[in-house]
Amino acid sequence: MANRFWVGGTGTWDAANTTNWSATSGGAGGESVPTAADVVIFDGSSGADTVTIGAAAVNCLTFNASAFTGTFAFGTNKIVIAGNAATVFTGGTGYSVTGTPKIEFSYAGSTGTRTITSALPTEANVFDFYITGGTDTIALGTASGNYGTQDYTGFSGTRSSAQSLIYRNLVISSGMTLPTGGTQFVFSATSGTQELTSAGKTFDFSVNQNSPGATLQLQDNLTMGSTRTFTLTAGTLDLNNQTLNTGLFSSTNSNVRSIAFGTGNITVTGNSATVFTTATATNLTYTGTPTVNSTYSGSTGTRTIFNGATSGGSAALALNLNISAGSDATSIGGHFNNITYTGYSGTAATGNTFIYGNFLGSNTQTYTAGANPITFSATSAKTITTHNITIDRPIAFNGVGGTFAFQDALTQGSTRVFTITNGTVQLKNGVTSTVGSLTTSSTNQKFLQSTLAGTQATLSQATGIVSTGYLTIKDINATGGATFNAYTVNSNVNAGNNLGWDFFAQLGKTIYTRRKEKRVLI
């Protein structure tokens, strides 16, 4: 083993040129070209010139460029490092690179730890690292190093814990062992597409995507630990029709960012935490079919799910939410398309929630009482299935052109308001739906009907005086104890087959009794 120092400024590293190699720092050139048994060093005496990698593969035992201020010109060639049980690569921050800067680590044994110290070069000057074999340990020698690609194809050893800022691709080997805990990978590109291949390995650590102007694209399903968080800080997360299975998911800020779902989904497995949040959804967009599944099956704590609940939420940002298991508590808020609780047997609560699709409850769940409204906001035909659970929340309908068809009887809390602002509400025919207090708002004509034309649905309200406006009523039997006023002078329309409604109050008419007392109906 010998040391080989680069000297003499600009030159080519290939199998023949000896001019630029010295046995000492700043010494005379003319030493032999380094082999897989030699230490290669680029230091302050190597000059600020260009080193061209002039062969398909050049070799060394270890590589150190921590003090180099010149340029490595790769083209399509690579540096092969054969060492083990040592610091096999030491990078710096003063050099630059051109071409495709590929560093290949070829050791195939099991002895010791190979340490790679990348330091913090800029995005334009990071190297790509390919660990092609070995059952030893790979240690990234800084707490936070900058890397182009990390490709572990062929490696079946252990990667020790250290955070990496990755500006190109990450390829995991199915035979390797990954660290646990902390945030191991931060995807940080500012342009182009970064590819992530997990090879079926569980990432039992957190991942952060902070890649403004760039895309992180899954190449296969990604599975993370149930207590770990995938954070989308900036950039586009392209699920590429795959499943991101993570404990928690977070993207709540005002950076420009996007999730391309395609036919993929985000499945959160965590509990007793905010398991999914895009609460601040400013500058966030979705494409494809945005679907989030929450699959925790235990009974501990509360799962909280926010989507545009604080700011930036809209119909365009609504996602499908499936809560498919668990007997714990759940709390949701914001903007959703379809909401499904099938398989859930816990206690559900909502903040201000806007539903643009279908609602499907579970017959084993309960709903906590609260003052935050559930607003059905679709502009097309949707269904609502309560499974006869009591929804002790205000319920509103505000979707121009929307039809909201109940598939079974509704039971609303007795102190809650049932508001029709826009659209058509269809109560289930042949059953009794109970509301707290029916009211209408806006001067748009809206509709209250049975789900089956010609067959009545029964609407029950226990107390109070109902006074509607701009409401067309058909096939509704009003009962329960309240007074149901739908005066035509208030632009209400009796469309037929109704009972219990007063459509024809005569306002201002004077009536004289036999005793000549005068009464005025008001």
Collapsing DSSP to helix, strand or coil, 478 comes out as strand
Strands 50-53 and 71-73: parallel
- CA–CA distance, 214 with 234 (Å, rounded to integer): 9
Closest-CA residue to 243 (of 271, 223, 269) = 223
* Inter-CA distances, 461 with 53, 483, 492, Å: 83, 9, 19
DSSP state of 316: G
pLDDT in single tens digits along all 522 residues of the chain: 899 999 999 999 999 999 999 999 999 999 999 999 999 999 999 999 999 999 999 999 999 999 999 999 999 999 999 999 999 999 999 999 999 999 999 999 999 999 999 888 999 999 999 999 999 999 997 777 899 999 999 999 999 999 999 999 999 999 999 999 999 999 999 999 999 999 999 999 999 999 999 999 999 999 999 999 999 999 999 999 999 999 999 999 999 999 999 999 999 999 999 999 999 999 999 999 999 999 999 999 999 999 999 999 999 999 999 999 999 999 999 999 999 999 999 999 999 999 999 999 999 999 999 999 999 999 999 999 999 899 999 999 999 999 999 999 999 999 999 999 999 999 999 999 999 999 999 999 999 999 999 999 999 999 999 999 999 999 999 999 999 999 999 999 999 999 999 999 755 444 444 444 433 343
Q: Which residues pair with 349 in a beta bridge?
A: 331
Collapsing DSSP to helix, strand or coil, 12 comes out as strand
Closest-CA residue to 183 (of 168, 200, 198, 203) = 203
- Strand boundaries in 124-205, DSSP class E: 128-131, 137-140, 144-147, 150-151, 158-159, 163-166, 170-171, 183-187, 193-197, 202-203
Strands 206-218 and 243-246: unpaired
Quote the pLDDT of residue 507.
Answer: 53
φ, ψ at 44 (rounded to 5°) = -65, -20
Q: How many CA atoms lie within 13 A of 181 on its CB side?
A: 2
Closest-CA residue to 420 (of 434, 403, 433) = 403
- CA–CA distance, 354 with 331 (Å, rounded to integer): 14
Quote the pLDDT of residue 145.
Answer: 87
- CA–CA distance, 408 with 360 (Å, rounded to integer): 11
DSSP state of 488: G
- CA–CA distance, 109 with 476 (Å, rounded to integer): 80
φ, ψ at 79 (rounded to 5°) = -105, 130
Are 199 and 223 a contacting pair, CB within 8 Å? no
Quote the pLDDT of residue 517.
Answer: 40
What are the structure tokens assigned to 307, written together?
């989507």
Are 276 and 249 a contacting pair, CB within 8 Å? yes
Quote the pLDDT of residue 516.
Answer: 41
Whole-prediction pTM: 0.94
Contacts of 517 (CB under 8 A, 6+ apart): none
Are 506 and 485 a contacting pair, CB within 8 Å? no
Dihedral sign for Cα 44, 47, 48, 50, please: negative
- CA–CA distance, 313 with 295 (Å, rounded to integer): 24
Quote the pLDDT of residue 519.
Answer: 39
- CA–CA distance, 429 with 327 (Å, rounded to integer): 32
- CA–CA distance, 289 with 265 (Å, rounded to integer): 8
Closest-CA residue to 243 (of 228, 216, 261) = 261
Quote the pLDDT of residue 483.
Answer: 98
Strands 144-147 and 202-203: unpaired
* Helix, strand and coil in the chain, % to nearest 5: 0, 50, 50
